[in-house]
């Protein structure tokens, strides 16, 4: 390899969803490009006209944007480059590394049977025919691959994989209708995009041997190969819908943060010692393709949840509040003016236990309730008793005296109040919590009151007192 500046790419086919296997391939390509100061590109392999859709192209763009893995150049669309693919084949014909094959379908079938009986791959008689023997009938163009020796795919993850050339048939490059085939298009595009490292799933390992022969037929430099192991489900079996073969966008819908996904996906097949949690900057500094392990990786939801919780605890409350507001709107929760600020204030008190932003949305609901709150029956009954309602009236007065409304002052006020009353917090804390939250899950008392603010907290207590009396 010469030391050309590193250029990597992903080349998804827009034929459906973008699942996490593609996301991981994208991440590894992005990390490697960033690690080496190179560039990361995107090619849409839309040559399958029946199955490629614009919606699926959009899914790829959205998925990449959400993951924060945007390419450094505008995307390349493969179908639009068919003329370039054909031009490369002309060059191969001129170089003698490809030939026109005029076998009829019947002849091909007969050759296929003979080849099978003789335990070899098919060989066209046109391989060595003189050019002016050409009949006037449809033809395909085939690669004139070497008959002997071996083709070595020197893979950065798998090591050197050897293919005996006699087992590789002369690959079709152009079909009878002149349309380019998959392996040809990949090679021409990768070459012209200046791709130095092809990092992709190991289901393409066999293609790498074929593609190597095309590079050689064109006299082009073969890129470095790195074929990543599969991602299996938690049970070690092939990913299934139930076990995470979800679309990337579904992880967004399930309440995962993109930075958690990046950290998590990076750990699927690569790692840095025992480090579980690392920033993008650390991953970029540490990542090297040769450290990817060749064994299949396993999806582990517990680990993903753990990481997501970590990043939820680190994220800016404003950003989380926007996400939570979006989730609540999608659940038809009506938000009033000021609610987004309230959500933002509440988040620091509830996020420690949240594994996803969906859980975070559940956890802020107590704060969004509008007065008067519906109280649990048990609390209503307790407040109807004189002892507790009188204590609540004194508690309200004590709280109203708190000058610097915030966790430290409120904790102090609650502690002093319990002392003054000569009772433990257990004698009024659970009821206060129910009064503040209407029985929904809520953080501890000082946190809940800080999130709600002074007026709303005292107001909720007032409502409870007037109901209880």
Catalytic positions are: 241
Q: Are 218 and 175 in contact (CB under 8 A)?
A: no
Distance of CA 76 to the CA centre of its chain: 21
Q: Are 253 and 179 in contact (CB under 8 A)?
A: no
Contacts of 365-368 with C-beta under 8 Å, sequence gap 24+, read 365/328, 365/333, 365/440, 365/441, 366/436, 366/437, 366/438, 366/440, 366/441, 366/442, 366/448, 367/342, 367/343, 367/448, 367/451, 367/452, 368/328, 368/333, 368/335, 368/339, 368/342, 368/343
Distance of closest approach, residue 186 Cβ to ligand GLU, in angstroms: 5
Binding to ligand GLU (CB under 6 A) within 32-91 occurs at 45
Distance of closest approach, residue 173 Cβ to ligand GLU, in angstroms: 16
Measure the CA–CA gap between 469 and 19, rounded to whole angstroms: 58
Residue nearer to ligand GLU on the CB measure, 48 or 109? 48
Q: Among 6, 11, 171, 289, which residue sits at the site for ligand GLU (rule: CB under 6 A)?
A: 11
Residue nearer to ligand GLU on the CB measure, 245 or 389? 245
Binding to ligand GLU (CB under 6 A) within 133-152 occurs at none
Stretch that binds ligand GLU, among 10-18, 55-63, 67-75, 157-165 (CB under 6 A): 10-18
Distance of closest approach, residue 182 Cβ to ligand GLU, in angstroms: 8
Distance of closest approach, residue 220 Cβ to ligand GLU, in angstroms: 15
Q: Helix 182-192 and helix 205-218: axis angle, to 10°? A: 60
Distance of closest approach, residue 321 Cβ to ligand GLU, in angstroms: 37
Residue nearer to ligand GLU on the CB measure, 18 or 449? 18
Measure the CA–CA gap between 228 and 156, rounded to whole angstroms: 9
Among 86, 222, 217, which Cα is nearest to 146's?
217
Binding to ligand GLU (CB under 6 A) within 381-400 occurs at none
Among 90, 77, 98, which Cα is nearest to 12's?
77
* Residues in binding contact with ligand GLU, number by CB under 6 A: 7
Distance of closest approach, residue 147 Cβ to ligand GLU, in angstroms: 26
Stretch that binds ligand GLU, among 7-15, 94-102, 286-294, 407-415 (CB under 6 A): 7-15
Residue nearer to ligand GLU on the CB measure, 25 or 395? 25
Residue nearer to ligand GLU on the CB measure, 44 or 141? 44
Which residue's C-beta sits nearest to ligand GLU?
200
Tell me the C-alpha to C-alpha distance, in Å, between residue 372 and each of 76, 93, 436.
58, 83, 10
Stretch that binds ligand GLU, among 6-14, 139-147, 160-168, 385-393 (CB under 6 A): 6-14
Structure tokens at 271: 């790692």
Binding to ligand GLU (CB under 6 A) within 194-233 occurs at 200, 204
Distance of closest approach, residue 200 Cβ to ligand GLU, in angstroms: 4
DSSP assignments along 58-113, one per residue: HHHHHHHHHHT---SSPPEESGGGHHHHHHHHHHHHHHTSEEEE---HHHHHHHHH
DSSP assignments along 120-186, one per residue: S----GGGG--GGG--SS--EEEE---SSSEEEEEETTTEEEEEEGGGS---EEE-TTSPBPHHHHH
Residue nearer to ligand GLU on the CB measure, 195 or 312? 195
Stretch that binds ligand GLU, among 9-17, 218-226, 266-274, 448-456 (CB under 6 A): 9-17
Residue nearer to ligand GLU on the CB measure, 12 or 233? 12
H-helix or E-strand spanning residue 39: strand 39-44
Q: Give 238's strand partners.
A: 232
Taking residues 175 to 194 in sequence order and writing x for each that binds ligand GLU by CB under 6 A, - otherwise, the string is -----------x--------
Stretch that binds ligand GLU, among 8-16, 66-74, 294-302, 452-460 (CB under 6 A): 8-16
Tell me the C-alpha to C-alpha distance, in Å, between residue 254 and each of 24, 62, 230, 268, 359.
18, 16, 23, 20, 10
Binding to ligand GLU (CB under 6 A) within 12-31 occurs at 12-13
| Bridge-based pairing state of the strands 172-174 and 140-143 | antiparallel
Residue nearer to ligand GLU on the CB measure, 204 or 310? 204
H-helix or E-strand spanning residue 364: helix 357-368
Among 50, 32, 52, which Cα is nearest to 41's?
32
Residue nearer to ligand GLU on the CB measure, 193 or 410? 193
Distance of closest approach, residue 211 Cβ to ligand GLU, in angstroms: 8
Distance of closest approach, residue 258 Cβ to ligand GLU, in angstroms: 21
- The residues that touch ligand GLU, with contacts defined as CB under 6 A, are 11-13, 45, 186, 200, 204
């Amino acid at each position: 390899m010469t030391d050309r500046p590193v250029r990597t790419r992903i080349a998804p086919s827009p034929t459906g969803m973008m699942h996490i296997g593609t996301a991981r391939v994208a991440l590894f390509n992005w990390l490697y490009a960033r690690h080496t100061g190179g560039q990361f590109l995107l090619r849409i392999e839309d040559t399958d006209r029946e199955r490629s859709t614009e919606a699926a192209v959009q899914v790829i763009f959205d998925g990449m944007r959400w993951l924060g893995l945007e390419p450094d150049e505008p995307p390349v669309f493969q179908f639009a480059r068919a003329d370039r693919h054909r031009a490369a084949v002309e060059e191969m014909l001129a170089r003698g590394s490809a030939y026109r094959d005029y076998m009829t379908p019947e002849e091909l079938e007969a050759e296929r049977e003979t080849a099978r009986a003789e335990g070899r791959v098919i060989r066209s008689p046109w391989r060595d025919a003189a050019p002016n023997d050409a009949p006037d009938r449809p033809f395909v163009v085939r690669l004139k691959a070497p008959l002997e020796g071996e083709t070595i795919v020197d893979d950065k993850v798998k090591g050197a994989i050897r293919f005996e050339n006699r087992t590789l048939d002369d690959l079709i490059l152009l079909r009878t209708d002149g349309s380019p085939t998959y392996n040809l298009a990949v090679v021409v595009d990768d070459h012209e995009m200046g791709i130095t490292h092809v990092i992709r799933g190991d289901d393409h390992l066999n293609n790498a041997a074929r593609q190597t022969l095309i590079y050689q037929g064109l006299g082009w430099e073969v890129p470095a190969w790195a074929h990543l192991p599969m991602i299996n489900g938690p049970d070690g079996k092939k990913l299934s819908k139930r076990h995470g073969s979800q679309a990337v966008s579904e992880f967004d819908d399930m309440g995962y943060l993109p930075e958690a996904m990046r950290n998590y996906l990076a750990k699927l097949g690569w790692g840095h010692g025992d480090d579980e949690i690392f920033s993008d900057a650390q991953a970029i500094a540490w990542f090297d393709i040769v450290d990817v392990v060749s064994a299949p990786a396993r999806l582990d939801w517990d680990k993903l949840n753990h990481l997501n919780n970590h990043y939820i605890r680190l994220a800016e409350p404003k950003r989380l509040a926007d996400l939570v507001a979006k989730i609540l709107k999608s659940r038809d929760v009506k938000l009033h003016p000021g609610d987004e600020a309230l959500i933002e204030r509440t988040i620091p008190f509830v996020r420690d236990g949240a594994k996803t932003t969906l859980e975070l949305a559940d956890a802020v609901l107590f704060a969004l309730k509008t007065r008067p709150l519906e109280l649990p029956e048990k609390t209503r009954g307790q407040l109807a008793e004189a002892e507790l309602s009188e204590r609540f009236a004194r508690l309200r007065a004590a709280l109203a005296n708190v000058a610097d409304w915030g966790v430290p002052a409120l904790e102090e006020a609650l502690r002093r109040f319990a002392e003054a009353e000569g009772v433990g917090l257990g004698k009024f804390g659970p009821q206060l919590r129910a009064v503040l939250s209407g029985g929904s899950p809520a953080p501890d008392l000082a946190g809940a009151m800080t999130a709600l603010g002074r007026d709303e907290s005292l107001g909720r207590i007032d409502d409870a007192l007037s109901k209880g009396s």
